[in-house]
Amino acid sequence: MSIRAKICGLSTPEAVSAAVEGGAAYLGFVFFAKSPRNLTPEAAGRLVEPIRGQGVRTVAVTVDPDDVLIDRLMATMKPDLIQVHGKETPARVRQIAERSGAGVIKAFSVSSASDVDQARAFEPVTEQFLFDARPVEGSALPGGTGARFDWTLLDGRRFSRPHFLAGGLDPWNVADAIRVSGAPLVDVSSGVERGPGLKDPALITAFLDAVKRL
C-alpha cells in the first residue's frame, strides 16, 4: 500500500527537515492569526526555499482567504497547493484556483455522512479533498485541534479526487486509521507536537515511519 502523508503546521527548519527526510509527500504551512502555527507568507517562503525541487508539495493552509492573501502567498511562498479550511463555496474555490494557478485542497469538517457528501459539489473545482474532524462548538480553530471523527464514515467512499484523512492522527493510531477509513492520504499536525505549535522532529519521523510500514 502506498500511502502519502502531509505534515501540517510546520514553522521551523528542523521540523521541515524531519518531514522531508522522513519522506513526507506534502508540507503544510498555516496562515490563520488565531493558530499557534500561524506564519507570514514571507516566513513560509524562507522555510520552503531550501527544499524546492525535491519533489515535496508545499501547501498553504488558509481559512476563507481573501484575494490579498492569495496574491501575497503566490508572490512569496509560491505554494503548489492552497488548502481552504473555511466556508468557501465551489464558486469561491474556482476563483482561488484561477487567480492563484495553484491546485486547491478543500477541507470538510466531518461529524456525519452528510458532511462527507458535501465533497461532490467541489469535484469540478478542487484538486484534492481533506476530511477533518468537526471542531467542538466555540473552538477558535477550525483545524489542528487533535479532534477525531468516526473513520468508518470514509470507508468504501469513492471520489474523483484523492482525499486526505485528518483529525487526531498520531504515530500510534495512523495505521489503524488508514485500515478503517481506506484513505490514500493522511494528514497530521498536533499529533506530532510536544506542545501547541511546537513540532517534535522525532514524532514526525515516527509518524512517517508508521506510514511507510504499511
Ligand X SMILES: O=C(O)c1ccccc1NCC(=O)[C@H](O)[C@H](O)COP(=O)(O)O
80 is catalytic: no
132 is catalytic: yes
Q: Catalytic: which of 117, 132, 176, 187?
A: 132
Q: Does 88 bind ligand X (CB under 6 A)?
A: no
How crowded is the C-beta side of 24, counted as CA atoms within 13 Å? 29
Q: Candidates 24-32, 90-98, 112-120, 155-163: pick the segment binding ligand X (CB under 6 A).
A: 24-32
Q: How far apart are CA 179 and CA 85, in angstroms?
A: 25
Helix, strand or coil, per DSSP, at residue 213:
coil
Q: Candidates 30-38, 43-51, 72-80, 176-184: pick the segment binding ligand X (CB under 6 A).
A: 30-38
Minimum separation from the CB atom of position 214 to ligand X (A): 18
Spatial CB neighbours of 43, under 8 Å, sequence gap ≥ 6: 11
Instruction: Give the helix/strand (H/E) hosting 92.
Output: helix 90-100
Q: Candidates 11-19, 27-35, 110-118, 205-213: pick the segment binding ligand X (CB under 6 A).
A: 27-35
Whether 174 contacts 210, CB under 8 Å: yes
Q: Does 58 bind ligand X (CB under 6 A)?
A: no
- Measured torsion, CA atoms of residues 183, 140, 31, 22, in degrees rounded to the nearest 10: -40
**Closer residue to ligand X in complex, CB, 53/163:** 163
The total number of residues shown for the chain amounts to 214
Q: Does 61 bind ligand X (CB under 6 A)?
A: yes
Residues at the contact surface with ligand X, assessed by CB under 6 A: 8-9, 28, 30, 32, 35, 37, 61, 63, 85, 132, 141-146, 166-169, 187-191
Just list the catalytic residues.
8, 132
